[in-house]
Chains A and B, each alone.
Chain A
Amino acid sequence: MSSTPNSYRIGPDERGHFGIFGGRYVAETLMPLILDLEKAYNEAKADPQFQGELKYLLTQYAGRPSPLYFAQRLTEKLGGAKIYLKRDELNHTGSHKINNVLGQVLLAKRMGKTRVIAETGAGQHGVATATVCALFDIPCVVFMGSVDVDRQAPNVARMKMLGAEVRPVTAGASTLKDAMNEALRDWVATCENTFYCIGTVAGPHPYPAMVRDFQCVIGDEVRKQMMEAEGRLPDTLVACIGGGSNAMGLFHPFLDDPTVRIFGVEAAGRGLDTEEHAASLTGGRPGVLHGNRTYLLQDREGQITEAHSISAGLDYPGIGPEHSWLKETGRVEYVSATDDEAVEAFQLLCKLEGIIPALESSHAVAYAAKLAPTLPKDNLLVINLSGRGDKDVPQIAERLGMKI
């Protein structure tokens, strides 16, 4: 473990490194484009007009701020910490993904790009990208593993209705990692006119920092909302982790507040003692994939192994590089929840609060359900409800043997 830095919020360095993690491990063809993107993003970030337009769209189009809701029945049932839900599932398109997509597509427009591509797992990022591309009249192609095309069928239909082309990917395990490979392959051939809208805090620099910045609206709002509701900061934050964007968006604004305990929940699939999980921080080692150095599930040689999670959005053998760094510094605690625990938490939230959470977010709920009873009643615990579960209804119904 490295020594404690002065601030956890200053990274990455100018080469895109968070400690030894991050960087820009991409084909030379893409390197000049990535440098351009970094420059364009830095300019946009400092431009009040860009920020104004983004703020307007987040408010009027996406419906922000999302509520911070006191989940009274869940709190009573668990009998410990006072639980708040950050309701990002209420955003337009049904998840936190739109926060990032609005930022990136505005940037694409500003850079004069005429085509947008994206990878998607659960389809939430794909739907968000298809949506914003429809709004701005930009052709959009979404790469999606064929396994995910099947298990997230409602989202595939949504993307098509929104005018996007969905390209099923059959390489590898046909899930999120393979979709990202295919999107990168497309981008190498089309980079002169195409903007690659990455859906999480991964990929080569500047993506991890840029996506984080766009998602920080979640944590910034929570800070303000909790001050209004309770007159102080939260004590505990819990979010699920696929690539780590909803988690980073919630965590980052609190990293320098030492009283706030932070938990990132990875997908433990069928169990960490099996090979079928997606917990790259718990079960992996640092390696290089998809443009950055980060914790990866891999064999001894460095061949990437397949992840498994019931949740398509968490079914990825890597994680954003800043999370790898936060793990090594010890600032964030990384834990996990299994498929079964997530399904149980999914049902719990349906019945107690009348909220159908995404299977991804259900992992955060599952861990919070274990943690909350161990905490005092005045402990303010925030769960990031990153998405709604409409897309998962057919899959869960089938698993529970329900006829629909």
Chain B
Amino acid sequence: MSRIEKRFAQLKADKRAGLVTYITAGDPDAEISYQILKGLPAAGADLIELGMPFTDPMADGPSIQLAGQRALKAGMTVDKTFDMVRRFRKETGDNDTPILLMGYYNLIYQRGPEKFCKDAAAAGVDGFILVDLPPEEADELKPHATANGLDTVLLTAPTTDDVRLPAVLKFASGFVYFVSVLGITGTKSATEEAVRTHVERIKRHTRLPVGVGFGIRTPEQAAAVARHADAAVVGTAIIDHVKAGLDDKGKAKPELVPGVFAYIKALADGVRGVRKA
């Protein structure tokens, strides 16, 4: 069983949904970003998405775009992202919390899918969520991911209808990520009713857990998603808390890291307050 599968099995046994937290690796700099990463499980994150900054994040709104620019400006690279994960596994001894790399395919393609997967697995990464790699193009990566024990979490959207879903699910492992709104990150939020309908629909096609993201900002919204899905994913709102902790010169103020953790704790309380069957 992969770490992701184990984590979802545990959540099921605990009769609750999980909280998936997104941060951009290297935002605002490598060290602060690592301090955040290190404390995420204690703050209440059940799974971690680590964004790989990219110059042209086509599916991201202004918050995550700017986070990526901050990280790149501070010198973030793919190797340093792997280092963060390696250090996390070593220093915290946490071998249970799954870490997924999120981002755009070009960074993987340049290193070569095979080498990228080897390096990622060796660093302690558990899988990928790649925004611009639909199932139609996933066959170049999938065999190497599988060979290295990495899950490929594919995205589904409101536009992914019942005819198309099986084609997406064929390449999916770990969990299925439902993008709950039409749009880029950090813009709109879905209604609870829409989340319920889509999650039920996806579950008719797969036994994989379903995580729901895009537009979740408050503990109440996280709880609403937790009532229907196996996990709630929060990204932009966390990044906004990172940004709020920066001074005029873009340097981290002392309250940045604790501020992020306090916010994540509130989200986690929202998610954990929902008892599941």
Contact = CB atoms under 8 A, between A and B. Distances in A.
A190 B182 contact: yes
B61 A31 contact: no
A319 interface: no
Interface stretch (A4-12, A249-257, A282-290): A282-290
A298 B159 contact: no
A172 B155 contact: no
Contacts of A296: 106
A172 B136 contact: no
Contacts of B104: 288
A25 B161 CA distance: 19
A303 B182 contact: no
Secondary structure at the B interface, as helix, strand, loop or mixed, is loop
Interface of A: 15, 23-33, 171-172, 177, 181, 184-185, 188-192, 285-291, 293, 296, 298, 300-304
Closest 9 CB pairs of A and B: A302-B110, A189-B183, A29-B157, A28-B155, A302-B106, A288-B106, A25-B132, A302-B107, A32-B159
A303 B55 contact: yes
B43 to A, nearest CB: 29
Interface residues of B, number: 41
B139 to A, nearest CB: 10
Contacts, number: 116
Most buried by B among A181, A188, A192, A293: A188
A27 B102 CA distance: 13
Interface of B: 54-61, 65, 72, 77-78, 104-107, 109-111, 131-134, 136-137, 154-161, 164, 168, 179, 182-184, 187-188
A177 B56 contact: yes
A181 B58 contact: yes
Contact of A191 (B105, B106, B110, B182): B182
B137 A24 contact: yes
Given A23-B137, A288-B132, A298-B106, 19 more contacts: A15-B136, A25-B134, A27-B179, A28-B134, A28-B168, A29-B157, A32-B157, A32-B160, A181-B56, A181-B58, A185-B61, A188-B182, A192-B159, A287-B109, A288-B104, A288-B106, A298-B110, A303-B55, A303-B72
